[in-house]
């Protein structure tokens, strides 16, 4: 069945967990410098250390801990242990297997088991968050109720996601297509909206993608909102997501948005504005993340919006304006009594050049909110491991169809 999600190799099904109860909503980076055990401290292996005992059902208290240690002796059997740990991991809790987790690899999958056996001790706030994101992504994708239904061919396939990529800069096309090509989400189509002239080989380049692709050409005189509406009309996906031509995206980016849309049940989902490269200062910054994953946030980013086709229609489509398209869409969703949800900011790096953005803001604006500053081009700060060695080149001042608006 197209879009059927297969479990990891060697995986034996465990009882799935409810992602609408066990999810990272309101997960925070801040944590106490304490380690919790899920059972009596005397049952931990001699080399394992913990400060207190917290039951696995006490999620809010566990979230305040730096991480959780677990041992086989705390559980009835391996299946019960896997079920309890998957719920916690799906909610963002860092779990460390103090005994190596005998028998768990076949129940949770090899990659998640490997992450669970890595000790989080000594991780700072940023490292801890990245570790949590990697773990919960796997748990939600492979072990939630919707995931298990898809694995068994029940409840329909994964939704088709249409990536709407609007660009008016031929020199940025190859890199933008590369960001789409590397996405691991299995049901994806690209609608490439060429805004103006100068694109001579776009159809061939789009056809070489591993995902289906369509090309739409729109006159330069049209507004960005009109361009996005033209791309939407050509798309077929149940979910629509906007990607920008000069920003950087991790391979799991679309998966993160789809999972966030599923467990939040929000009409509009976005990644938070956390990671920015400032070409004028040649530095990469991590902005203060504020409320973390939550409905109550204004730090969404235009290059990461995801919305269903039905909810976009209910909001009146993309506002037919040249600027502030994304902001206007958010306002329209809220007026239609929908809600907007911000997931984590990892896997997305906004690239700010000296000029050429539809959202103009001085570098001082970002520096004043910076929690971490790394000199030079540092996509790894945003959790992007397979990034190009150099930042996108200058577009010679041409206007971009990208950025927060």
pLDDT digits (tens, 9 = 90+) for 293-304: 889 766 778 999
Quote the CA–CA distance of 185 and 179 in Å, as a whole number. Answer: 12
Given a cut of 70, is residue 7 above it in pLDDT? no
Q: What are the tens digits of pLDDT across the range 80-99?
A: 999 999 999 999 999 999 99
> What does the pLDDT average to over 117-127?
94
Kindly state the average pLDDT of the residues 161-170: 96
Q: Where are the beta strands (DSSP E) in 71-207?
A: 95-97, 161-167, 188-195
Predicted confidence (pLDDT) at residue 389 exceeds the cutoff of 70:
yes
Tell me: the pLDDT tens digits for 229-249? 999 999 999 999 999 998 999
Structure tokens at 402: 């990208």
| CA–CA gap between residue 42 and residue 23 (Å, rounded) | 30
pLDDT(310) > 90: yes
Same domain for 366 and 232: yes
Query: What pLDDT shows up at residue 186?
Result: 96
Q: Is residue 141 part of a domain?
A: yes
Would you state the pLDDT for residue 387?
82
C-beta separation of 167 from 194 below 8 A? yes
Domain-embedded: residue 28? no
Average of per-residue pLDDT across 104-120: 96
In a domain, 391, yes or no: no
| Residue 146 resides in a domain | yes
The predicted-structure confidence for 50-68, as pLDDT tens digits, reads as follows 999 999 999 999 999 999 9
**Rounded percentage of the chain residues whose pLDDT exceeds 90:** 77
Both tokens of residue 83? 């079920």
Q: Which two tokens stand for residue 109?
A: 């999958």
Which of 26-30, 254-258, 349-353: highest mean pLDDT? 254-258
Distances (CA, A) of 128 to 61, 93, 402: 17, 10, 30
DSSP 8-state assignment for residue 28: -
**Would residue 26 count as lying in a domain?**
no
CA distance 403 to 44: 50
Task: Tokens 């002239």: give the residue.
Answer: 197
Integer Cα distance of 275 and 347 in angstroms = 9
How many domains does the chain divide into?
2
Overall average pLDDT of the 21-46 stretch: 94
- The answer, yes or no, to whether residue 4 has pLDDT greater than 60, is no
Among the three residues 124, 151, 178, which one is the final residue of a domain in this structure? 151
Whether 147 and 165 map to the same domain: the answer is no
pLDDT confidence bin for 14, thresholds 50/70/90: confident
Residue-wise pLDDT for 315-354, tens only, equals: 999 999 988 899 999 999 999 999 999 999 999 999 987 6
Cβ contacts of residue 138 below 8 Å, gap of 6+? 89, 109, 111, 112, 115
Examine the domain organization and report whether 188 and 283 are in the same domain.
Answer: yes
**Which residue's entry shows tokens 């990034």?**
387
Query: What pLDDT is attached to residue 360?
Result: 62
The answer to whether the beta carbons of residues 131 and 115 sit under 8 Å apart is yes
**Beta pairing class for 283-287 and 370-375:** antiparallel
pLDDT at 309: 98
Provide the pLDDT confidence category of residue 140 given band limits of 50, 70 and 90.
Answer: very high
Q: Is the pLDDT of residue 2 over 80?
A: no
Q: How confident is the model at residue 154 (pLDDT cuts 50, 70, 90)?
A: confident
Q: What is the DSSP string of 61-85?
A: HHHHSSEEEE-GGGSSSHHHHHHHH
Question: Which of 75-79, 252-256, 273-277 has maximum average pLDDT?
Answer: 252-256
Would 269 be classed as within a structural domain?
Answer: yes
Looking at residue 103, the DSSP 8-state letter turns out to be: T
- Kindly tell me if the per-residue pLDDT of 149 is higher than 80: yes
Residue 395 has pLDDT above 80, yes or no: no
**205 and 317 assigned to the same domain:** yes
Task: Kindly report the backbone phi and psi dihedral angles of residue 203, in degrees, each rounded to the nearest multiple of 5, phi listed first.
Answer: -60, -45
Decide: helix, strand or coil at residue 117. helix
Give the domain extent around 343: 161-382
Claim to verify: residue 197 and residue 109 sit in the same structural domain: no
Count of CB atoms situated within 10 Å of the CB of 388: 12
- Helix axis angle, 125-143 relative to 110-117, nearest 10°? 150
Is pLDDT above 70 for 400? no
Provide the CATH number for the domain around residue 252. Answer: 3.90.550.10
Higher pLDDT, 369 or 240: 240
Claim to verify: residue 179 and residue 309 sit in the same structural domain? yes
């Amino acid at each position: 069945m197209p879009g059927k999600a297969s479990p990891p190799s060697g995986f034996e099904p465990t009882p799935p967990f409810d992602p609408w109860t066990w999810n990272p909503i309101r997960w925070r980076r801040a944590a106490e410098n304490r380690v919790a055990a899920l059972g009596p401290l005397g049952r931990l292996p001699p080399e394992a250390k913990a400060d207190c005992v917290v039951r696995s059902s006490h999620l809010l208290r566990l979230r305040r801990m730096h991480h959780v240690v677990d041992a086989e002796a705390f559980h009835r059997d391996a299946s019960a242990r896997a079920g309890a740990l998957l719920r916690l991991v799906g909610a963002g809790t860092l779990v460390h297997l103090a005994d190596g987790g005998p028998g768990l690899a076949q129940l949770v999958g090899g990659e998640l088991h490997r992450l669970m056996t890595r000790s989080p001790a000594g991780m700072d706030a940023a490292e801890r968050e990245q570790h949590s994101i990697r773990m919960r992504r796997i748990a939600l994708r492979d072990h939630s109720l919707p995931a298990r239904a898809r694995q068994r061919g029940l409840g329909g396939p994964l939704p088709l996601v249409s990536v709407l990529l609007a660009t008016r800069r031929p020199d940025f096309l190859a890199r933008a297509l590369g960001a789409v090509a590397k996405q691991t989400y299995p049901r994806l189509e690209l609608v490439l909206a060429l805004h103006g002239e100068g694109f001579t080989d776009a159809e061939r380049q789009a056809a070489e993608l591993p995902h289906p692709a369509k090309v739409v050409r729109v006159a330069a005189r049209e507004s960005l909102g009109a361009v996005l509406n033209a791309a939407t009309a050509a798309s077929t996906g149940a979910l629509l997501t906007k990607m920008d031509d000069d920003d950087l995206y991790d391979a799991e980016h679309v998966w993160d948005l789809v999972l966030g849309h599923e467990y939040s049940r929000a009409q509009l989902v976005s990644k938070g504005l956390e990671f920015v490269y400032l070409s004028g200062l040649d530095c990469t910054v991590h902005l203060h993340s504020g409320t973390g994953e939550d409905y109550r946030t204004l730090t969404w980013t235009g290059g990461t919006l995801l919305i269903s086709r039905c909810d976009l229609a209910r909001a009146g489509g993309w506002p037919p304006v040249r600027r502030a398209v994304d902001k206007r869409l958010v306002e329209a969703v809220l007026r239609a009594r929908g809600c907007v949800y911000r997931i984590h900011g990892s896997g997305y790096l906004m690239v700010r050049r000296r000029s050429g953005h539809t959202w103009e803001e001085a570098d001082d604006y970002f520096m004043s909110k910076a929690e971490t500053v790394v000199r030079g081009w540092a996509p790894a700060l945003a959790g992007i491991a397979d990034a190009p060695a150099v930042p996108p080149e200058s577009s010679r001042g041409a206007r971009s169809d990208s950025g927060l608006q």
